[in-house]
DNA sequence: GCAGATCGTATGTTATAGCTTATTATTTGT
DNA sequence: ACAAATAATAAGCTATAACATACGATCTGC
């Protein structure tokens, strides 16, 4: 009743080259619109709503706090985001996407997804549906939820941010 | 007739963190069996059949020719692969997995896929089917086929190994 | 008003992956 | 037998990312 017949490849063995190809395909589109990957990631994050501090934004996109600074500099200089000191606390910068940033982001995403459609077109309609629905499920999980699900199968009861690997021994 | 209603996330935006979490979950399993990621990749490649030269193996797994040497050293020392000079051409090394290597590889894969099942269990059965079938399709594509499909949508008529990106301008 | 904490920023350090070159052993063609 | 080519190996260089540190500006609590 387990019903798993043919051996399947490891998920990462398929997804890693696939993801790499997807990223490689994104880069020319981003470059054509004068954006870096991090710039695009920031625009996507801010498109979901303004963010109060740069540290919060960094955590939201899993980036280092000190690393996004130059990205923000460039996005601001290009008029794609606004970055004003909070009047109530002049240490923090209020971050938001501008209308120009929104349309730029939409244009880039259209280009990226147009490419991706060629890949999805390889699938029969039913599988494409299932694939995309699966991705929507996984897109809704945080990094910690992904990890804890994978490592224990315990659903939201474990310690999500505790365990980390790190050891890399040799044979 | 296009029938694409809700906005979907970019594929890479979902697949990149997912793949990273999968890799992070693999590492403890590999370490528990005394293997590195590259060692496991090599075992998987050789499990599909022996390979005549190290350079051929390197290309097959998209690794640098000079990089797998230490990996092969360790796998050989652990008795997981055989690596004999070809009697007909003593420059080349004939590479093959040993029975010990096969069982080690199977044990590692069982551990990895057991973890992955926890992730797949989050999906309704129909979507899981579609997801896995989609992955089987993409697993059958070479890196060059993935790239050309993504970049042009031209099916096997373009130049698969010609175009490369590389420019990374800033905003 | 002062001490301690917080935010953004600049800078430096370390680890690692990718690439290049050089060397040795061996084969092939003339 | 000799020159050119090829396979494996060794060693070094470079770019990049992750991590840590330090500093000035600003806020909060006392």
Cβ–Cβ < 8 Å for B21, A163 = no
**Which bases of strand C have any atom within 7 Å of the beta carbon of a protein residue?**
6-12, 16, 18-21, 25-28
Could you say which residues 78-97 of protein chain A have a Cβ atom less than 7 A away from any atom in strand D?
88-91
Residues 94-153 of B with CB under 8 A from A: 109, 112-113, 115-116, 118-119, 121-123, 126-139, 143, 146-147, 149-153
Q: Which helix (H) or strand (E) holds A96?
A: strand A89-97
A38 sits in which H/E element: helix A37-47
pLDDT digits (tens, 9 = 90+) for B3-54: 445 689 999 999 999 999 999 999 999 999 999 999 999 999 999 999 999 9
H or E element in which residue A86 lies = strand A81-86
Q: Global pTM?
A: 0.85
Res B164 pLDDT > 70 = no
| pLDDT number for residue A151 | 78
List pLDDT tens digits, range B128-150: 999 999 999 999 998 888 988 88
What DSSP designation does B85 have? E
- Distance (Å, whole) CA A57 – CA B80: 46
| pLDDT band (50, 70, 90) for residue B156 | very low
Torsion of CA A30, A18, B75, B83, to 10 degrees: -100
CA distance A142 to A153: 15
Q: CB of B15 within 8 A of CB of A134? A: no
For strand C, which residues in window 149-168 of chain A come within 7 Å by CB?
168
Say if CB B85 and CB B95 are below 8 A apart: no
Block means of pLDDT (10 residues each) for chain A, length 171 residues? Answer: 69 95 93 94 96 94 92 95 94 96 97 95 94 95 87 48 36 46
Contact A36 B170 (CB under 8 A): yes
Give, for B108, the enclosing helix (H) or strand (E): helix B99-120
Distance, CA of A73 to C1' of D28, in Å: 29
What is the number of CB-based contacts under 8 A between chain A and chain B?
220
Among the listed residues B31, B61, B24, the one whose alpha carbon sits nearest the alpha carbon of residue B43: B61
């Amino acid at each position: 009743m387990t019903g798993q017949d043919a051996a399947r490849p490891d998920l990462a063995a398929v997804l890693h080259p696939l993801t790499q190809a997807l990223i490689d395909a994104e880069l020319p589109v981003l470059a054509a619109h004068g954006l870096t990957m991090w710039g695009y990631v920031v625009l996507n994050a801010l498109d979901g709503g303004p963010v109060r501090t740069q540290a919060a934004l960094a955590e939201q996109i899993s980036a280092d706090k000190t690393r996004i600074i130059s990205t923000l500099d460039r996005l601001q200089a290009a008029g794609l985001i606004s970055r004003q000191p909070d009047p109530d606390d002049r240490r923090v910068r209020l971050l938001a996407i501008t209308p120009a940033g929104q349309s730029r982001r939409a244009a880039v995403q259209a280009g990226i997804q147009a490419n991706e459609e060629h890949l999805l077109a390889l699938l029969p309609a039913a599988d494409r549906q299932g694939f995309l629905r699966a991705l929507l499920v996984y897109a809704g999980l945080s990094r910690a939820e992904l990890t804890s699900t994978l490592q224990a199968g315990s659903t939201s009861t474990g310690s999500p941010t505790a365990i980390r690997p790190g050891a890399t021994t040799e044979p």
